[in-house]
Amino acid sequence: MSSRRGFWRSITREYAPAGWLFPKPVVAPGLGEDLGLSRLVTQSDNASFAKRIGEFVDIGQFARFLACEVLLANYDGILNTGQNFILYLDPYGGRFGFVPWDLDHSWGEFPLTGTFEQRAHASIWHPWLGDNLFFERMFMVPEFRHLYKSELRRLRSTLFVPETLGQRVSGLAEIIRPFVAEESDDKLAKFELVVHGLGKQDKLRASTTQSHQPMYSYKKFFAARAASVERQLLGRETGIVLSRGSAR
C-alpha cells in the first residue's frame, strides 16, 4: 500500500492546477487509483501486472462479474461494446469492482454479434471481441484464471441450470399471460411461442419496428449455452472466438 500512497502523492503534485492557493491540493477521490490502474495495464511488464493487479482490482469480485457476463453471452456490454457496466471504487477496500447495467440484450440475445449458434458456443477463455488489453492481460494471470473458472463452475451448477431457468420462465408466464391476452390474440400467440421455447433462434439484425422482430427462444439458449460451457470447462470444446467481422 505504501507504493500506492507514493503514487497518489505524485499524482496530486502533477495534476494540481497552476497557482494553487491551498497548502494541500485536493484531487477528485479515486483519481490516483484510476490513473494507477491505467498505468499498470498499459505500461507494466507481465510479471509486474500479475503481481500488482490485485492492489487495484478486486480479482475475486471481477471473476464473479465476468463469469456472469460470459455465461449470459452478454455482448451489449463490457465484452463487446464497452458500455452497460459500472466501474466503482470500494471506499473501504480501496479497490475497483464492476457492476452490470442494462441487461436487456443478455441471454445471448444481442442480434448484432454473431448468430445464435455462435453466441451459445462462444469461448469462455477468449470471451471479448476486438482488441482489449485489459482482458488480454487479466487472462494471463493464474490467480484470476483459477477464480474465474471456479466461478463458472459454481454458477453453472447452481444457477445456470436449464431446467430451473425454464421453470422460472414458465412461472413468470403464468403471471404475465392474462395481461398479454388483453393486448391482442397476435401478441398472445407470440408470447406462447417464447414461453414454450418454440421461437426462432435468431432475431433480425435490423427492423423498422420492434413488433416485426421474430420471437427469441430463451429456453433453447439455456440448454445450448449450459452444454457448451460445461464442455469447455472439461476441455472437450474450444469455444468460438467472436469478432466484430466474423467468428473464428
d(CA 204, CA 41): 37
pLDDT 10s digits, 133-153: 999 999 999 999 999 999 999
Residue 199: closest CA among 211, 209, 181, 213:
213
Q: Does the pLDDT at position 114 exceed 80? A: yes
Residue 40, classified by CB atoms within 10 Å of its CB into exposed (0-12), middle (13-18) or buried (19+), is: buried
pLDDT of residue 195: 86
Residue type for 157, please? S
The overall average pLDDT reported for the chain is 85
Q: Is the dihedral of CA 29, 31, 33, 34 positive or negative?
A: positive
Q: Are 242 and 122 in contact (CB under 8 A)?
A: yes
Whether the pLDDT of residue 211 is over 60: the answer is no
- Is pLDDT larger for residue 100 or for residue 12? 100
Share of the chain above pLDDT 70, in %: 78
